[in-house]
Amino acid sequence: MDEQRYHLGEVLKEIHYFQELIEHSRTKHFDCLLLKIVGSDTIPVLLLTRQGTPLRLTNYDEGFTTCYFRIEKVDGKHGLLTISFLRPMMVEGELASLEKTAKRVTIHSDTLSGVQLLSTSLLSANMFIESKW
């Protein structure tokens, strides 16, 4: 069991590392080339609880519930994970895009059993809603 927690901690650290790399990498001639290629400074994740279900948290200030997050900080020494909420934008019951928010929480990684990566294109999707009439 400790090996599984260690492995999950390493996975979370790696996701955070690459997210930071995307956000802060600069090139001599193209500045933020990696960010421009990827299209987002966020790698959206879905976190799985010990029961195998997606972690769902509510932002009561803005009135939405989400199971989509951005990893902000990994404290492996204390087993803590700081995440920010990504607001889901649904169209006809399907996830169309994700919007970054300032809402953050810190959870203990022992409450998690896994992580699933989502496409970064969900954060750069332009939504156009047309009338059916």
Report residue 12's pLDDT band, with 50, 70 and 90 as the boundaries: very high
pLDDT in tens, 40-59: 788 899 999 999 999 999 99
pTM for this one? 0.81
Q: What mean pLDDT, rounded, does the chain reach?
A: 84
Give the E-state strand segments of 1-133 in sequence order.
45-49, 57-59, 64-66, 69-75, 80-91, 94-108, 112-117
State the pairing for strand pair 57-59/80-91: unpaired
Q: Does 34 have pLDDT greater than 70?
A: no
* 8 Å CB contact between 8 and 114: yes
Mean pLDDT computed over 75-94: 91
Mean pLDDT computed over 19-42: 73
Q: Does 62 have pLDDT greater than 50?
A: yes
